[in-house]
Amino acid sequence: MTRLPRVDSACLLFPEIAVTSRRPARLAQAAIAIGLGLTLGCSAALAQTPAKGSPEHIKAVTSAVDGASIKANTATSNDWPTIGLDYAETRFSKLNQINADNVKKLGLVWTYPLESSRGVEATPVVVDGVMYQTASWSVVHAIDARTGKRLWTYDPKVDRTKGYKGCCDVVNRGVALWKGKVFVGVYDGRLIALDAVTGKVVWERNTVDNKEFSYTITGAPRVFNGKVVIGNGGAEYGARGYITAYDAETGNQAWRWYTVPGDPSKPFEDESMARAASTWDPSGKYWVYGGGGTVWDTITFDPDLNLVYIGTGNGSPWNRHVRSPGGGDNLYLSSLVALNADTGQYVWHYQENPGDHWDYTATQPMILADLTIDGAPRKVILHAPKNGFFFVVDRTNGKFISAKNFVDVNWATGYDANGRPIEVPQARGKEPYDSIPGPYGAHNWHPMSFNPQTGLVYLPAQNIPVNLTPEKSVKFNVQEPGKFASAAGWNLGFMLNATPPKSPPFGRLLAWDPVKQKEAWRAEYVAPWNGGTLTTAGNLVFQGTADGRFIAYNATTGEKLWETPVGTGVVAAASTYLIDGKQYVSIAVGWGGVFGIAARATELQSPGTVYTFAIDGKAPPPAFVKYQTEGLLAGVKYDPKDVPEGTALYVTACAQCHGVPGVDKGGNVRNLGYVSKETIENLRNFVFKGPFHDQGMPDFTGKLTEADVVKIQAFIQGTADAIRPK
Ligand SMILES: O=C(O)c1cc(C(=O)O)c2c(n1)C(=O)C(=O)c1cc(C(=O)O)[nH]c1-2
Ligand SMILES: [Ca+2]
């Protein structure tokens, strides 16, 4: 990356080069400046070189981050300036000091405590040794990566009793850095610009001023051309998806694009909404549920075509029979959409799941690549969404090139030449249905990477079996009566797996050839929900695992070359960067996300931590923390007649975080089948103004009655008793 203010070395190497590369009109001026610099400017500048890690240094290196520097960094990968490394989101670093020959000598340099006990999903962003990392509850940490010491922490103070507003853990997928500001999307819907040096708020906007829907933000903002763009989540609770661009300097709104139409009796926002409305059946009153299509993760910018690509989410509610009874594609659900980066106007779309029915989102991270396909150079998007197919799409026009399933699927047999799925009719039937992939996806938000040297994409793939039972009636979310709970339109019993699904769960790292649409190698894991990937010119792939390890593989062969325990399950992806000429690898660990709330794959539950490694690192690992669990709950007195009502209450109020008592083991939230008898006997003390409201436990005052709690107790003990080995 070109760093203007790095006068120590830049002085010798023509100080104005970075400026001229950005502003060609200033070539003549620059020539003079170079001359001056060599004669008198340099000695003065050298005397003022700020100490690394000092406020002046942080100001200098973060102010230099802009579109040109992000592009320039791709020549070396010295820094990791955006969440996916570059605008193409390759997560492929050209650094090769750490490589397949010496990775065995990788050792710990420092760890940094993120002071969080919920999921950590962000990739560390690093420029010249200044690191920005988010933890749960959208807390931002600035870290001196030379030492691992805190520079500052910013807590946007999300109301901890409002975690229920999102479906999938109080997570955050990271920051965007631009001209001295750090941008973070906050769980409660705010977009905040922070001063990169001090962590103080520069501006703040509420991006979800609408009161009808339960919006949250978990994704990372994207900055380009002086605009910062953010989407939101909420389609499990009823929401209408959109993304908004703001001026990065002022926070003024530049544009907004909705992903699905609103009430057709009112004027449409634009032509793209009018066209979309013809693919929805108004008798389903989809606008009341919001329709869905939330842009809760991937937003990618293409500087060459000046397009923004977004992946849109599932239908809201999931079940199309409820949402749009007459069928229809329901544009622009589950689609890749290209927008004009300046205006936010629709340019093209490709819909991966017409008429989504299964929470098959297209929000999974995409990678922009230039590939030779059938002998011709193509500018493509590589995409592996929840639905289990790997897509190659022409990013100049949205035309389908190819799709191939990367895991076994049962909802479609393939895609036709026009890019439409060939669906299996039972997948939309009225009978209970084992959805493969299920709503957790064959691949979720965990970032994949693409290594142009091997030609392979490294993709965390999985199966998490779920049985879906179609049902017309829509259940309430106890917290917000009138808001629809997650599986609205599907029987909420899916959470309790009323009909146990038959397919086996798995988690694996897939090395996938996107040209041949074929697996090259795989590594099997003990469980699903493993971390994102990083790949390097050192012929390496790095990935953290659900069972608490950080692993390096040979990128060509898949041979495991190195691993280290990290004290808890890993869901995030690693980054790598140079500091003062030496290569480091950092990974933030912290078990969580939608699967990690209630389930786990290791007995270790250490808090959120950033680990940083280098060759010959010798730092001692921190002490690991074990899960605190009691034996299977026994002895709570209850009336079996209360169990059916208790079940319904538990499903709408408790299941999403606590899982099924005694069946799930508990993830970053405890399972109520494995707590003490006294805890369940005193459940009311936790439910109403209880001690865990600062950790994400909602306050149910006014939402549940004391009698409801007694029924929930009956369900919890009844379930534990039912599964106890006789
Ligand atoms: O439909 C939505 O609006 C929405 C939002 C989110 C989110 O914001 O985290 C997730 C999902 N859906 C989702 O379907 C999903 O599987 C998921 C997993 C995670 C996670 O962080 O582990 N978030 C989300
Ligand atoms: Ca969803």
Return the residue matching tokens 């035309």. 399
Of residues 430 and 289, more confidently modeled: 289
User: Quick check: ipTM above 0.90?
Assistant: yes
Longest Cα pair distance anywhere in the chain, in angstroms?
91
Q: Are strands 130-134 and 125-127 parallel, antiparallel or unpaired?
A: antiparallel
Average pLDDT over residues 418-437: 91
Instruction: For residue 596, give the ligand 1 atom closest to its CA.
Output: 22
pLDDT tens column, 227-258: 999 999 999 888 999 999 999 999 999 999 99
Structure tokens at 294: 């939330």
* 98/584 Cα distance (integer angstroms): 8
154-213 per-position pLDDT tens digit: 999 999 999 988 989 999 999 999 999 999 999 999 999 999 999 999 999 999 988 888
* Spatial distance between the Cα atoms of 132 and 151, rounded to a whole number of angstroms: 10
| SS3 letters across 415-471 | ECCCCCEEECHHHHCCCCEEECCCCCCCCCCCCCEEECCCCEEEEEEEECCEEECEC
Atom number, ligand 1, closest to the C-alpha of residue 171: 21
Q: What is the pLDDT of residues 22-78, one digit of tens each?
A: 333 333 333 333 333 333 333 444 446 899 999 999 999 999 999 999 999 999 999
CB atoms within 10 A of CB 696: 22
Least confident of 259-268, 280-289, 429-438, 710-719: 429-438
Q: How much is the pLDDT for 494?
A: 54
Dihedral, CA of residue 40, residue 43, residue 47 and residue 49, to nearest 10: 90
Put simply, whether the predicted model's pTM sits higher than 0.90 gets the answer: yes
Q: Is 594 annotated as a binding residue?
A: yes
Residue 361 CB less than 6 A away from ligand 1: yes
Residue numbers annotated as active site: 359
Residue of minimum CA distance from atom 23 in ligand 1: 168
Ligand 1 centre distance from Cα of residue 297 (Å): 8
In the predicted model, what is the mean pLDDT of residues 568-579?
Answer: 98
Q: Strand pairing of 92-93 and 533-536?
A: parallel
The tens digit of pLDDT for each residue in 429-481 reads: 877 788 999 999 999 999 999 999 999 999 999 999 888 876 654 454 555 54
Domains and CATH numbers, the chain: 640-723 (1.10.760.10)
From CA 314, how far away is CA 320, in angstroms rounded?
Answer: 10
CA distance 308 to 89: 13
- Residue 20, pLDDT > 60, answer no
Give me ligand 1 centre to Cα 9, in Å: 45
CB atoms within 10 A of CB 205: 18
> What pLDDT, on a 0 to 100 scale, did the predictor assign at position 322?
84
Mean pLDDT, the chain, rounded, equals 90
pLDDT digit string (tens) for 82-108?
999 999 999 999 999 999 999 999 999
| DSSP states of 37-92 | IIIIIHHHHHHTPPPTTSHHHHHHHHHT-SHHHHHHGGGT--SB-STTSSTT---E
Two structure tokens written together for 442: 């064959």
Instruction: Give dist(CA 342, CA 247) in Å, integer.
Output: 11
Mapping DSSP to helix (H, G, I), strand (E, B) and coil, where does residue 283 land? helix
Check residues 483 and 297 and name the one with the higher pLDDT. Answer: 297
CB 589 within 8 A of CB 122: no
